[in-house]
Amino acid sequence: MQRGRFIVLEGGEGAGKSSNLQCLQQMLEARGLNVLRTREPGGTPLGEALRFILLDPVYEGMELKAELLLMFAMRAQHVTQVIRPALEAGTWVISDRFTSSSYAYQGGGRGLDNDAIAWLERFVQDDLRPDMTLLLDTPVDVGLARMRSRGEPEDRIEHEGRPFFERVRASFLAQVAAAPERFIVLDAAQPLEVVQAAMHAEVERFFAPLWLT
Ligand code: T5A
């Protein structure tokens, strides 16, 4: 049986990850593939419990290293319980965020050491890396305006100010510059139908050799 593929959607707040993940799922299922949709923080019962803690404003002032370690504790469970078994069973896994978010938020946003994040990445994931990461890139103001237009209370991380989110965006773009072969960047400030059409075309192109086998 052919191993499944692992696709991750990344981006800042309000970039449109959830909106585009649904479209991606439909596109892959239309090809007859089994698709598992998941998210981080979350993805398992333990991960969802940790998500609640990570995002609850009651934990304002959480130690930055504690935040990073909770992200990787969540990920350890997610990788072992959900992602690896699904890929080995031939299922395609599509995730709303993964380790690039740790580099962007805890590394770029919080200023933690990227070498420490890289060590945790190897410790928790061994050789598991996404086959493809779609970065939905928007100017920070666009994403924050979309997020706020939903009128929902802000979570602990959404409370951060604009400079924090500028650092997050800069980190995502630096990750792309360092490993362009691993990322597809989509201009997510465009209307949703335009973003989805671009995503569709990029995924078709990226996996074209696979569709032919
Ligand atoms: N985090 C996560 C870390 O700090 N480290 C880590 O390692 C990980 C994994 C939760 C938080 O955790 C942090 C990052 C986050 O702060 P989350 O649940 O993914 O992660 O949180 P958000 O990014 O805040 O999720 P959002 O739901 O806000 O953003 P989405 O999913 O990117 O956006 P979406 O699809 O819900 O769209 C937002 C709004 O915009 C509209 C949608 O209709 C919706 O109303 N929209 C568009 N409007 C116009 N044009 C478009 N192209 C649009 N696309 C979407």
Q: Which tokens is 190 given?
A: 């465009």
Task: Report whether 47 contacts 178 (CB < 8 A).
Answer: no
Domains of the chain: 6-211 (3.40.50.300)
Task: Report whether 1 contacts 133 (CB < 8 A).
Answer: no
Q: Give the closest residue (by CA) to ligand 1 atom 4.
A: 105
The whole model's pTM is what?
A: 0.97
Cα of 207 vs centre of ligand 1, distance in Å, is: 25
The per-residue pLDDT string of the chain (213 residues; one tens digit each, 9 = 90 and over) reads 899 999 999 999 999 999 999 999 999 999 999 999 999 999 999 999 999 999 999 999 999 999 999 999 999 999 999 999 999 999 999 999 999 999 999 999 999 999 999 999 999 999 999 999 999 999 999 999 999 998 899 999 998 999 999 999 999 999 999 999 999 999 999 999 999 999 999 999 999 988 877
The closest-lying atom of ligand 1 relative to the alpha carbon of residue 39 is: 19
Cα of 184 vs centre of ligand 1, distance in Å, is: 18
Pocket test for ligand 1, best of 8, 17, 21 (most atoms within 8 A of CB): 17
Pocket test for ligand 1, best of 37, 147, 148 (most atoms within 8 A of CB): 147
Cα of 179 vs centre of ligand 1, distance in Å, is: 23
Coil, helix or strand for 185? strand
Sorted by sequence, the CB contacts under 8 Å of residue 185 that are 6+ apart come out as: 135, 137, 173, 176
Q: Give the closest residue (by CA) to ligand 1 atom 22.
A: 13
Which of 62, 171, 72 shows the shortest CA–CA distance to 114? Answer: 171
Sorted by sequence, the CB contacts under 8 Å of residue 130 that are 6+ apart come out as: 6, 7, 8, 95, 98, 182
